[in-house]
Chain A
Amino acid sequence: MKNSIQVTKKLALLLACCMVIFSCTEKLEENDGQLAADDLDFTISEDMVLPLVGAYAAVYSRGWEDPLLIGVRGDDVNAGGLGDQQPFADTDLFNYDNGYWMYNQIWENFYGDIVRIISSGETIQSYKDFATGEYIDRADQYIAECKVLSGFTHFQMSRLWGDIFIIASSDISTELDNGVKTKAEVMQYISDLMDEAIPFLPDARPNEREDVPAGVTKYTAMAIKALANLELENYQEVANVTGEIIGSNKFSLYPDFYQLFKKPGERSNENLFELQFSDYNTASGATNDHLYAPFGPSNWTPVVEGASGGWGFYEPSLKFIKFMLDRGETTRLRTSVNFTPRGIAEIMMDPAYATLPSLVSNVTPDGDIFNDYPRAMFGSGKHYLPSIQLTPGRTRYGSSKNFIVIRYAEILLMYAEALTQGASGSSMTADQAVNMVRGRVGMTSLSGVITDDVMDEKFAELAMEWGVRYFDMIRLNKYDELSYEGRTFTAEDELLPYPQNQLDLLPLGNN
């Protein structure tokens, strides 16, 4: 009996132990060390800028391969990088392999950004739900900005692949169930999306914005709308929108064409949209930089010792250089092309170009010397930052340089083209628009311009920039222009094939 009491006591002790354990069970519902989206305090309205900045960060963080692949197929530029990235060179020759890593990477880069932008817009909406007064308007503006960024990324995707998925909400599976939309549907979607956004956006130049300097404005949205309508060959709409941008009198051409693409041209009155990068004028510490090395020379003698060169990709074509020489271009040729001695010799091998103007030199206007390297004969000047403009202490090629995406010159030339294609415009004549662009770089005025003149002007003005040339040529079916230096371009070469990885992953047919 005594024994059993003893046992009972022990069991009571055990029970007490168990009680202690049970009291721990509530711990099982804790989630330490995480910040869930629902844990954000949406009542703090001033925080609604955070997801907007996140959306900009997504768009700015471009992979090095993005601008290269977008532009490489034009007759203004060759792959360069000889001996390296053979499938990239093959792409330049219109031989596509859908297993090539670059295609898949760029698909993922842009779509990943689209989803981040959409999620940011939805997070801003959550802030808006708790906002009052002017914060409601601000939320509307931020949401509209996300739409512009989404429009831009959809635009780049559809240009490359034609028919793509439209992603309008973060409910991805529903969006995928809607299937791919034709390129025309995507462009119309972008145009409509810009119409939705425009009423809520600031009526200002991007560089006039104080809350988000160089962020998108009403005019950025209009520019993207114009680009989408250009792809749709809806020239009257192009003329209307670009005419409105011109008529706003907000924008002007930056006087120094060369410096426009260097640090002085950052956030100039010409820029409608630019990707921002900076080392914050510090010699060390964190930076937000784009990797410009692919554009750089693999052998150079920079003015600033220790400044890094690059990989020698993205080589301006002989066709472009000769085209510019034929026109007597000086500023734009010097700005667009960096010459190596080997490249100069190559031009001169053509008897028609046996004597070259003195501006054709392997020393840049800022004194950096481009030496011979086997990868390429020329370097892309618009992606070059003089070594003397590097922040002291920084050595990466092009460190801290912004990446201009849409500028006023392109707006003027889109307007001019639309008029030559038969649209009517209210701002100025096509001649005036073209001559404004020409005037900046000291080219004589033209009169009675036709579409071909405008396209030549775009070639000279916008070469090496975001594939403008290539996409113009395929829009106008000028396959003969793309069939240059041994290439043959046919209609089926217009689009990149869907990446094999995406074909395996998505309900896609071959495009």
Chain B
Amino acid sequence: MKTKISLLLMLFFSFNVFAQQMEVNGVVTSANDGMPLLGVSIVVKGTTKGTSTDFDGKYSITVNSGDQLEFTYLGFKPVIMTVTDQNVINVSMEEDSESLSEVVVIGYGTQKKADLTGAISTVKAEDIEKTPNSNVMQSLQGKVAGVQIVSSGEPGGSPTVRVRGVNSFLAGNNPLYVVDGMFYDNIDFLDSSQIETISVLKDASSISIFGQRGVNGVIIIETKNGKIEQKPVFTYSGYTGYQNAQNVVKMANAEQFTTMAFESGSVADIQFIENAIQRFGRSRVNPNIPDVNTDWYKEILRVAPITNHSIGVSGGSTNTVYGVNASYFSQDGILDMKNDYERFNIQSNLEIKLSDRLKIGTNAIFSNATRYSPETGAWFQAYFAVPILPVFDLANTEATPIPFSDATVLGYRGSQNPFPVMTFNDNQVKLKRVLASMFVEFSIIPEKLKFKTTYSHDYSTASERNVRLPYFISENSQRERSSIRRAEFSSSNQIWDNTLTFNQGFGDHNLTVLAGSSYRDEQFNTFAATGNDVQGIALESSWYLNFADPTTFTNQVNEIGDRFYSLAFFGRVEYSFMDKYLLNATVRHEGDGRFPSRIWETTPSVGLGWVISNEDFMEDNGIFNFLKLRASWGQLANGSLGGSSGTRTVSQVVTDIGDVPTNGILTTNTFQDLKREILEEINFGISSRLFDNRLSLEVDYYIRDTKNLVLPREVPITAEVVFDNIGEMRNQGLEIAANWNQTVNDNWSFSVGANIATLNNKVTQINSEQGFFDTGSAEFRQRLIVGEPVNAFFGWEIEGVYQNDAQVSADPTAQYELSENNNQLVPGDFIYKDQNNDGRIDAEDRVVLGSYLPTLTYGGNISISYKQFDLGIAFSGQTGNDILNRKRGEVIFTNDTNIDAEFAINRWRGEGTSNSFPSSEGRRKAWNQKMSSFFVEDGSYFRVQNIQLAYTIPAGKSIPEIKLTCTAERPITLFSYNGFNPEVANGVDRQTYPVPAIYTFGVNIKI
């Protein structure tokens, strides 16, 4: 049987051999600029035979007369030429950013962009590479409508990513990242240069095939690979530059601080200033203030370098494609301590066609990073440290090894100086991550029925080493004994996917059916131990637990672990009729061990599309080249909740009984029978291309409801928090993305893009006795109220500041305070709005003060090309969000520390001086420290996100293509918020790592 088939095949091929064979050659150029194109794939249609172009765009191939040659090149419209009798076929290819045949990566497959019915945005590699950052997601800021990115300034830090608002309270907002088939919460290990495409799946119908992890959106990332019949292409890209803190908060200087202290009326504070004068001398300019004026932020900040190098090669032959890439990234933090991040990555992709039916492939990513974590508390300390304290205090002769100053010497409660922790703490984390995956794809019925099995395993480790060096600054700021904490975190996650795909066209009908299963196993383990009294602590070579005193390990060793499994079955139908009427339907049935009472959950979704532009009546309409209406509905179940949410648990405690450390147990009785959150979404969309394909316009409107919203409920009395299905929440919004591309002439071309997204987040139901749900801390209340945004800031509204005694005595609320609460208000105190007009200010007068979620996010870009020059400018921004300036609010815990200059300058200090800031004395009173609109500030900003100027030296006979770039990332940010940075992920600004501006110079070489 086998031999017969072979014989038949041989006959078939030999028949071909006898056909008229000829050699065809030619040059492929870009229609845009006439430049030769390197690496264009040329395949004889219907066969695997092919080649690709060289440096000069030249190719040559042996074909038969009548064959069709298919020329494809990324970013260009494909060209098909039929071989007649000519030996030279020159092809001019047109650029095509939005081609009809463009294929989009979706869950467990791909789909033609024209056939999509959900809301999926794609981002191109070249847009990602413009952003100098360790994390790929940072480059999406302002680029995708409906995706909010909140930057992180920390080296190696990950931005906060929100797709279409906040969909779950507890599960966080992290979207699911699917990297070459593997699930991740975080992709900080990936290098931008490794990435081929990013697809952002926004609506439930697109996400639903990924099931319970996808509730916050899914971001599919494919890494770089070669192409069939592509000659090897070597690329190098690299940049180097520096980061500089932006918009540094101005703190009160020594003079302002002293004035504030004198005005406060606090005898102790005035004494502290006297103490500072005695210790550090008097200022010669103003003899009433100490001769010290420390700008703590300036002291702890530095200019920090950032560098990236990546080198790769990709290509392919008839049966094999490959891509290999290595990259190195390094970034120092702008906090002046051992604070940096360094990462080395290698990645390889290989796909082999073993036969016409069998294809196997493997993919591996290895990432090896070292991070020295900052002492983020330093930002907090620098805000509060008094300016009358120097960094060093040479009079402190007892200090060792460095004579840092200490505010307790002046009388303050805390030592305040951030430098001891910055200097004597060393926090190293070594992160290693291996992702290995392989697949086997078998065509059961060629071109029709295909089976694919994929196994992926991610193994990650984080080795933490926290070293605490001994020091002595004062009795209250010292560390007598050194310590080393070592923690080993490891996670081992595996996924095994099996899919069966059936594809068939029947005349005008086109059908693709997918059925599959996915098995997931995730486990993690953390082992940590701490030892004290390390021998030879001065030398890093002895920073091992072995050199610590072994008797100190007692009660300082712990281990935790968790493992869970999930199993899912899913199916999808994609159907189109006459390329006009589209239907996509998905169902997923998933089991998850974290919900013991209801393991299995089934979620359906459906999408419909109507390509109006393919209707007869739209032919030659002169405006629309493409117009499609989309509608989709889908459900998602959210399974990403903590594993311990359903049991009464036991924990170990140690206490002193008769001077013997004695073990005991504590049980918490907080059982809750949790249901999964169910997210349900309707999405309406328009996809269109207009005016000769120059303008593309995507519009989406969605309404998504989270049902069974899980909230961490404080069980009254117990101080225990349990998870409970308490409410419902709705996110709705409009997303518009428009792009205009135009080639003016051979030299000039430009494109303009803009996107805008609105977000209306509100709580729609709360099932609690009170009808609301409190979050945040008791002192800085946030509340969920029906009809208001989630976690709304909740407190009293300020009407102004009492200016004179007459005003106080005329105000009934002030009189009530005096008579009932014995609280004499004075000029310089806040006037609160008596919302219910009952003549008193009490809990009933609290109102919603704002939300941390922006109601509008936007972004845009302008690209201009002139000959070899490219200039790109991107901007982004948001409005409608508020920030709780908790740094100012911390006054309720300690009130004698420093304050920002804005406050110090604008404080009330006599009639008519301020109607928004209290007096220095008032700042210390509980009356003025209530959670109020004073602490809740507008968080809007507008930012010039990225400016890049590039010059390309075209490839010549002896020189490769070289592109030189100058980039300014986040050079300008405009905002009114009184802090470093309006990007505060949860809106509560206690301490955030400032986000620096980055300036780089880069080189890309392509051989």
For B732-772 the 0/1 string (1 means CB < 8 A from A) is 00000000000000000000000000000000000001100
Q: Is the CB of B562 within 8 A of A33?
A: yes
Partner of B659, one of A167, A280, A507: A280
Residues on the B chain within 8 Å of A359, using CB = none
Binding-face segment, A211-219, A233-241, A314-322: A211-219
Q: Is the CB of B717 within 8 A of A395?
A: no
A348 within 8 A of B: no
Tally of B interface residues using CB under 8 Å = 102
For A285-316 the 0/1 string (1 means CB < 8 A from B) is 11010000000001110100011110100000
Decide: A28 near B716, CB < 8 A? Known: A83-B269, A84-B896. Answer: no
Give A150 Cβ to nearest chain B Cβ, in Å.
13
Partner of B843, one of A57, A504, A505: A504
Q: Is the CB of B660 within 8 A of A53?
A: no
**What is the CA–CA distance of A212 and B563 in the complex, to the nearest angstrom?**
38
B233 within 8 A of A: no
Q: Is the CB of B565 within 8 A of A288?
A: no
A264 within 8 A of B: no
Binding-face segment, A114-122, A195-203, A427-435, A474-482: A114-122
Residues on the A chain within 8 Å of B408, using CB = 298, 309
A388 within 8 A of B: no
Q: Is the CB of B475 within 8 A of A306?
A: yes
Which A-chain residue is minimally distant from B666 (CB atoms)? Answer: A54
**What is the CA–CA distance of A30 and B595 in the complex, to the nearest angstrom?**
11
B926 within 8 A of A: yes
B617 within 8 A of A: no
Q: Is the CB of B930 within 8 A of A17?
A: no
Q: Is the CB of A53 within 8 A of B662?
A: yes
**Residues in B704-754 with C-beta less than 8 Å from chain A:** 714-720
B476 within 8 A of A: yes
Q: Is the CB of A286 within 8 A of B926?
A: no
Decide: A97 near B927, CB < 8 A? Known: A10-B451, A52-B664, A83-B896. Answer: yes
**What is the CA–CA distance of A95 and B644 in the complex, to the nearest angstrom?**
43
**What is the CA–CA distance of A109 and B717 in the complex, to the nearest angstrom?**
9
B533 within 8 A of A: yes
B656 within 8 A of A: yes
**Residues in B145-179 with C-beta less than 8 Å from chain A:** none
Q: Is the CB of A373 within 8 A of B411?
A: yes
Decide: A375 near B268, CB < 8 A? Known: A115-B717, A504-B843. Answer: yes
Give B418 Cβ to nearest chain A Cβ, in Å.
20
B121 within 8 A of A: no
For B258-285 the 0/1 string (1 means CB < 8 A from A) is 0000000011110110000000000000
Q: Is the CB of A306 within 8 A of B925?
A: no
For B578-611 the 0/1 string (1 means CB < 8 A from A) is 0000000000000111001001000000000000
Q: Is the CB of A101 within 8 A of B665?
A: no
Residues on the A chain within 8 Å of B561, using CB = 32-33
Give A124 Cβ to nearest chain B Cβ, in Å.
10
Decide: A500 near B657, CB < 8 A? Known: A27-B565, A54-B665, A82-B267. Answer: no
Partner of B718, one of A97, A115, A300, A501: A115
Residues on the A chain within 8 Å of B394, using CB = none
B567 within 8 A of A: yes
Decide: A99 near B779, CB < 8 A? Known: A7-B444, A31-B643, A172-B716. Answer: yes
Give A15 Cβ to nearest chain B Cβ, in Å.
11
For A11-52 the 0/1 string (1 means CB < 8 A from B) is 000100110010011011111111111111000000001111
A267 within 8 A of B: yes
Q: Is the CB of B442 within 8 A of A10?
A: yes
Which A-chain residue is minimally distant from B930 (CB atoms)? Answer: A99
Q: Is the CB of B650 within 8 A of A36?
A: yes
Give A288 Cβ to nearest chain B Cβ, in Å.
4
Q: Is the CB of A284 within 8 A of B823?
A: no
Give B103 Cβ to nearest chain A Cβ, in Å.
26
Residues on the A chain within 8 Å of B521, using CB = 27
**What is the CA–CA distance of A30 and B561 in the complex, to the nearest angstrom?**
13
B988 within 8 A of A: no
Q: Is the CB of B649 within 8 A of A37?
A: yes
Decide: A500 near B778, CB < 8 A? Known: A28-B567, A277-B656. Answer: yes
Partner of A101, one of B1, B268, B555, B778: B778
Decide: A286 near B654, CB < 8 A? Known: A28-B566, A116-B666, A375-B268. Answer: yes
**What is the CA–CA distance of A456 and B843 in the complex, to the nearest angstrom?**
41
Q: Is the CB of A176 within 8 A of B271?
A: no
Which B-chain residue is minimally distant from A109 (CB atoms)? Answer: B719
**Residues in A217-264 with C-beta less than 8 Å from chain B:** none
Give A249 Cβ to nearest chain B Cβ, in Å.
23
B478 within 8 A of A: yes
User: Of B555, B565, B664, which is in contact with the most chain A CB atoms at under 10 Å from its CB?
Assistant: B664
Which B-chain residue is minimally distant from A113 (CB atoms)? Answer: B719
Which B-chain residue is minimally distant from A207 (CB atoms)? Answer: B658
**Residues in A87-110 with C-beta less than 8 Å from chain B:** 87, 90, 94-97, 99-101, 104, 108-109
Which B-chain residue is minimally distant from A126 (CB atoms)? Answer: B667
**What is the CA–CA distance of A40 and B552 in the complex, to the nearest angstrom?**
29
Q: Is the CB of B551 within 8 A of A285?
A: yes
For B969-994 the 0/1 string (1 means CB < 8 A from A) is 00000000000000000000000000
Tally of A interface residues using CB under 8 Å = 110
Q: Is the CB of B453 within 8 A of A17?
A: yes
Q: Is the CB of B664 within 8 A of A51?
A: yes
Residues on the B chain within 8 Å of A501, using CB = 774, 778, 781
A123 within 8 A of B: yes
Partner of B480, one of A99, A306, A499, A505: A306
B924 within 8 A of A: yes
Which A-chain residue is minimally distant from B653 (CB atoms)? Answer: A57
Q: Is the CB of A119 within 8 A of B661?
A: no
Decide: A306 near B478, CB < 8 A? Known: A27-B593, A373-B411. Answer: yes
User: Of B517, B592, B662, which is in contact with the most chain A CB atoms at under 10 Å from its CB?
Assistant: B662
**What is the CA–CA distance of A394 and B821 in the complex, to the nearest angstrom?**
45
**What is the CA–CA distance of A293 and B910 in the complex, to the nearest angstrom?**
38
**What is the CA–CA distance of A286 and B781 in the complex, to the nearest angstrom?**
35
Q: Is the CB of A100 within 8 A of B657?
A: no
Residues on the A chain within 8 Å of B774, using CB = 501, 504-505
A276 within 8 A of B: yes
Decide: A306 near B657, CB < 8 A? Known: A83-B896, A284-B549. Answer: no
A378 within 8 A of B: no
A58 within 8 A of B: yes
User: Of B472, B561, B669, B895, which is in contact with the most chain A CB atoms at under 10 Å from its CB?
Assistant: B669
Give A378 Cβ to nearest chain B Cβ, in Å.
15
Give B456 Cβ to nearest chain A Cβ, in Å.
16
B663 within 8 A of A: yes
Q: Is the CB of A284 within 8 A of B451?
A: no
Residues on the B chain within 8 Å of A38, using CB = 648
Partner of A28, one of B565, B647, B719, B779: B565
B contacts, CB < 8 Å to A: 1, 266-269, 271-272, 408, 411, 413, 442, 444-445, 449, 451, 453, 472, 475-476, 478, 480-481, 496, 498, 500, 517, 519, 521, 523, 532-533, 549, 551-552, 554-556, 560-567, 591-593, 596, 599, 643-644, 647-650, 653-669, 714-720, 769-770, 774, 778-779, 781, 821-823, 843, 892-896, 924-927, 929-931
Q: List 11 A-B contacts (CB under 8 A).
A: A10-B451, A17-B453, A53-B653, A83-B269, A84-B896, A100-B926, A115-B669, A115-B719, A213-B657, A280-B659, A280-B660
8 additional A-B pairs beyond A83-B266, A503-B843, A504-B774, beta carbons within 8 Å, are A30-B565, A54-B667, A83-B272, A101-B893, A112-B720, A214-B657, A298-B408, A501-B774
A contacts, CB < 8 Å to B: 2-3, 6-7, 10, 14, 17-18, 21, 24-25, 27-40, 49-58, 60-61, 81-87, 90, 94-97, 99-101, 104, 108-109, 111-112, 114-116, 119-120, 122-123, 165, 167, 170, 172, 175-176, 212-215, 266-267, 276-278, 280-286, 288, 298-300, 302, 306-309, 311, 373-375, 393, 395, 499-507
Task: List the 7 closest pairs (A to B, CB-CB), nearest first.
Answer: A53-B664, A213-B658, A83-B268, A112-B719, A57-B655, A374-B268, A501-B778
